[in-house]
Amino acid sequence: MKHNGAEILMNCLIEQKVDTVFGYPGGTVLDIYDALYKYSDKIKHYITSHEQGACHAADGYARATGKTGVVIATSGPGATNLVTGIATAYMDSVPLIAITGNVIAANLGRDSFQEIDITGVTMPITKHNYIVKNIDELADTIREAFYIANSGRKGPVLIDITKNIQVAITDYEFKEPKKYIAKTVKAEDVKNIIKIIQESKKPLIISGGGIISSEATANLIKFADLVDAPVTSTLLGLGGFPASSKRFLGMIGMHGTYASAKSYNEADLIIAIGMRFSDRVATNRDNFSKNKTIIHIDIDTAEINKNIPATSSLTADANEFFKTINPLLVKKDNKEWMEKISQFKLKDIKTDSIMAYKILTTIAKMTDDNQVITTDVGQHQMWTAQHYSFEKPRTLLTSGGLGTMGYGLGAAIGASIGKGERNILITGDGCFHMNLNELATAAKYNIPVIVFIMNNNTLGMVRQWQKMFYGCRYSQTTLDKKTDYVALAKAFGCEGLTIAKDEDIEPIIKKALSINGPVVIDCKIFIDDNVLPMVPSGKNFEDIITKY
Amino acid sequence: MEKKHTISALVANRSGVLTRISGLFSRRGYNIESLSVCATEDDHLSRMTIVIIGDNYILEQIVKQLDKLIDVKKISLIEEFNAIYRELLLIKVSALPEIRTQIVEISNIYKAKIVDLSLNTITIENTGEPNKLDAFIKVLEPYGIMEMARTGVTALMRGDSCIKDLLDYNDLI
């Protein structure tokens, strides 16, 4: 059947079972928005306040549901406003399709109004990108983009469609989407790994975001039982292994637990799965693998030996790895080691005095294990990672790799839409101010997002570093903003509440949970609460700071 | 240990491919010694021959990161002992009539071809392995090199092996 390019885009989205997109209209996507108008019964479009918010929303939607996030923006500034959102998704391997319009092909390269070379701009932050200048290549390009975004190590793909292609007409025929099926792992490929595991006495598993994206949680639990090993997790891996398990040590790395640091130092074998030894995990790269046997499993072969050299490695999907290795493992018994681990866990510091901690534990107590938590970036993010007990995959949405302040609100909105459920955003007063314009979006669509602003009147994490390493010279981190969060929330059409003291915590959270719509809670916390423990950049796990 | 390595890649014959590849090198801080792009037997593919200087860690990373690019279809490391390397040189030497014969003689020894002659200059074409060209240039230096252009190395593996038969990054996942 004959369709124009914009309609072919709609049909290709429908092929991929996309029913939700985020975006912002503009000059070079007028035809796409005209098609969205026509296809509005099949594809629901959410307009945000800013393209960055739309991109984070598509990202949050993808992380919470496992589906592909789709964002649409116009050329020029619309496209460049997506950049931080695309980079965030790229660093955390989130499947995302960004669709941008561009000026008509005849005007390309002439510095036309709102013309930008967005494929050039996004080359380093996408898995791949396209500019479509031939109508007959449009449908297959979109199909290929979805496949690339969802295959292997997932990630964002951008498709730039010039305006003349959106109106050009050609034949369109429905095609069943090509589904990515991860390669199975052969028994012989895990032979050496099994041998190393059987010989080890003190194995430690590090679980990464790959566990969540390959849906390997059930098999990881089995694997940990067979190896009889404790499990620690990267930030993005949280939720991939149940936090309440006796095997779980909490997060590893710069703000990891005492138990994970201690266990790492004592372990003779590290089994790292679906993770990449970032500098926030391997705080001192040079010493990290000293006296250790390291088994590294990752879907991206370029991650093997990139940051930490592996003794033995396998390029594989985490779940496929477990499917092959689990039946071949002889159950181990590391009673002494597990005993030692439980002793380490007893020594984990308890930060009961911190108000953010009390708020987080109360949220956990008053919601169930399926509650999806979104964070921004900084102290509140680390407190959430340390103290919130994530039991299920896809319940923590956070910008790990890029560390994008301002990620949270858009992502929480997208996640709430994707799940059709309430989302809880933990943010700080610094992050909140970056993209608070999206409160308007939450109010417009009555999206049940509860925004907890851990308001300490400072950029807490930077202040902590200034305190510890820069002689308390608080350069530009004391915010002193005059924002009245309750009035601000109301002005946007949201509810506004305040937690000023411990006694407020329970009743205010209870009240927020009873409201069906967006709520902002100004949580007044102490300016000098620290995130501890901490292993400073470049230091070893022995140098862990537990008191300051 | 830092060493010279030659990488051969079949890449999609599409606009932007060169940017993707050179961008990757600058982004990750790898240095390119030379890079040449040429047509292949297949219209959809070009061949890139990239010479880099680095240790084994850098080499492994470059190959893997290049392989990850969607437009890089096949990639292989060219082992020196098992490959044919060639580079083309055009060189313009200052040559007044009285020393022309000397330059012609040198060119003959190096199996080079005189391709242009003016009153005061000679332009010579030479093909061969890069170190042969290095030696040739060195001998011509005293006469005054006015300008020269080297294409960079291009290489093929000897024997039956073809880059097309290798596995791609995507075959692993």
Please report the pLDDT score of residue B79 as a whole number. 84
Stretch (H or E) spanning B77: strand B72-78
Of the candidate CATH numbers 3.40.50.970, 3.30.1360.70, 3.80.10.10, 3.40.1110.10, the domain formed by A355-524 belongs to 3.40.50.970
- 3-state SS of A37-51? HHCCCCCEEEECCCH
How big is the CA angle at A304 (ends A275 and A83), to the nearest 5 degrees? 60
Q: Which residue is it, tokens 């071809």?
A: B113
End-to-end CA distance of chain B: 31
B26 → chain A, closest CA residue: A124
Question: What is the Cα B153 distance to its own chain's centre?
Answer: 2
Question: Which of A252, A295, A290, A291 minimizes the C-alpha distance to A270?
Answer: A295
Question: Which of A47, A132, A55 minimizes the C-alpha distance to A90?
Answer: A55
- Is A350 noted as a catalytic residue in this protein? no
Give B167's pLDDT tier (boundaries 50, 70, 90): confident
Cis peptide before A393 (omega within 30 of 0): no
Q: What is the DSSP pairing of strand B113-117 with strand A231-233?
A: unpaired
Instruction: Please give, rounded to a whole number of angstroms, the shortest distance from the CA of A119 to a CA of chain B.
Output: 9
What does the alpha-carbon distance between residue A271 and residue B77 come to, in Å, rounded to a whole number? Answer: 30
Strand partners, B140: none
**A251-260, B23-32, B75-84: which is most confident:** A251-260
Domain covering A2-168 in this structure, CATH number: 3.40.50.970
Please report the pLDDT score of residue B163 as a whole number. 86
How big is the CA angle at A170 (ends A166 and A171), to the nearest 5 degrees? 130
Please report the pLDDT score of residue A480 as a whole number. 92
Residues of chain B contacting residue A306, judged by C-beta atoms under 8 Å apart:
61, 64
Give A534's pLDDT tier (boundaries 50, 70, 90): very high
CB-CB contact of A274 with A319 (8 Å) = no
User: Helices A51-65 and A83-91: crossing angle, nearest 10°?
Assistant: 20
CB-CB contact of A243 with A177 (8 Å) = no
Q: Which residue is it, tokens 């860690």?
A: B57
Please report the pLDDT score of residue B81 as a whole number. 85
pLDDT averaged over chain B?
92
Q: Which residue is it, tokens 């839409």?
A: A417
Instruction: Please give, rounded to a whole number of angstroms, the shortest distance from the CA of A120 to a CA of chain B.
Output: 8
Q: Which residue is it, tokens 């006296």?
A: A291
Phi, psi angle pair for A273, to nearest 5°: -125, 125
> Is B22 in the A-facing interface, judged by CB distances under 8 Å?
no
Domain A187-346, second-level architecture: 3-Layer(aba) Sandwich (3.40)
Domains observed in chain B:
3-78 (3.30.70.260), 84-150 (3.30.70.1150)
Helix boundaries (H) for A118-244: 118-122, 135-150, 163-167, 191-199, 209-213, 217-227
A151 → chain B, closest CA residue: B173
Residues in contact with A181: Cβ distance below 8 Å, sequence separation at least 6, in sequence order: none
Question: Which of A229, A268, A265 minimizes the C-alpha distance to A247?
Answer: A229
Phi, psi angle pair for A312, to nearest 5°: -145, 140
What does the alpha-carbon distance between residue A410 and residue A423 come to, in Å, rounded to a whole number? Answer: 11
Please report the pLDDT score of residue B173 as a whole number. 65
In the sheet with B45-54, reading across from the earlier edge strand, the strands are B32-39, B45-54, B3-12, B72-78
Say whether pLDDT at B172 is over 90.
no
Residue B104 in tokens: 């012609």
Residue A127 in tokens: 């898995």
A440-465: average pLDDT = 98
What does the alpha-carbon distance between residue A515 and residue A448 come to, in Å, rounded to a whole number? Answer: 8
Q: What is the DSSP letter of A153?
A: S
What does the alpha-carbon distance between residue A358 and residue A30 come to, in Å, rounded to a whole number? Answer: 49
Question: What is the Cα A354 distance to its own chain's centre?
Answer: 25
Residues in contact with A208: Cβ distance below 8 Å, sequence separation at least 6, in sequence order: A233, A234, A236, A237, A240, A272, A273, A274, A275, A276, A298
Give A351's pLDDT tier (boundaries 50, 70, 90): confident
Would residue A96 be called left, alpha or beta, if left means φ above 0 and alpha means ψ between -120 and 50 degrees? beta
> Is B23 in the A-facing interface, judged by CB distances under 8 Å?
yes
Stretch (H or E) spanning A23: strand A20-23
Residue B166 in tokens: 């290798």
Gyration radius from chain A CA atoms: 24
Comparing A23-27, A78-82, A348-352, A442-446, which segment has the lowest mean pLDDT?
Answer: A348-352
Say whether pLDDT at A261 is over 80.
yes
Q: What percentage of chain B reaches a pLDDT higher than 70? A: 97
> Is B173 in the A-facing interface, judged by CB distances under 8 Å?
yes
Residue A470 in tokens: 């820069």
pLDDT averaged over chain A?
97
Please report the pLDDT score of residue A220 as a whole number. 98
- B61, B64, B66, B167: best mutation site toward chain A, by most A Cβ within 10 Å? B64
A215-236 tens-digit pLDDT: 999 999 999 999 999 999 999 9
Say whether pLDDT at A350 is over 80.
no
Say whether pLDDT at A352 is over 80.
no
Please report the pLDDT score of residue B80 as a whole number. 82
Say whether pLDDT at B171 is over 70.
no
Please report the pLDDT score of residue B165 as a whole number. 80
Q: What percentage of chain B reaches a pLDDT higher than 90? A: 79
Please report the pLDDT score of residue B82 as a whole number. 87
> Is B120 in the A-facing interface, judged by CB distances under 8 Å?
no
* Domain range annotation of chain A: 2-168, 187-346, 355-524
ipTM: 0.89
Report the helix count and the strand count for chain A, using DSSP H and E. 23, 20
Q: What is the pTM of this model?
A: 0.95
A163-177: average pLDDT = 98
Residue among A123, A151, A305 whose CB faces B60 most closely: A305
Please report the pLDDT score of residue B170 as a whole number. 64
A381-428 tens-digit pLDDT: 999 999 999 999 999 999 999 999 999 999 999 999 999 999 999 999
Task: Check CB contact under 8 Å for A300 and B68.
Answer: yes
Q: What percentage of chain A reaches a pLDDT higher than 90? A: 98
A89-112: average pLDDT = 97
Domain A2-168 and domain A355-524 have a common topology: yes
SS3 A503: helix
Say which amino acid occupies A399.
S
B97-124 tens-digit pLDDT: 999 999 999 999 999 999 999 999 999 9
Please report the pLDDT score of residue A120 as a whole number. 96
A34-43: average pLDDT = 98
Catalytic: which of A44, A67, A114, A366?
Answer: A114
Question: What is the longest distance spanned by two Cα atoms in chain B?
Answer: 66
Say whether pLDDT at B11 is over 90.
yes
Please report the pLDDT score of residue B162 as a whole number. 87
Catalytic: which of A17, A42, A113, A481?
Answer: A113
Please report the pLDDT score of residue B164 as a whole number. 82
> Is B2 in the A-facing interface, judged by CB distances under 8 Å?
no
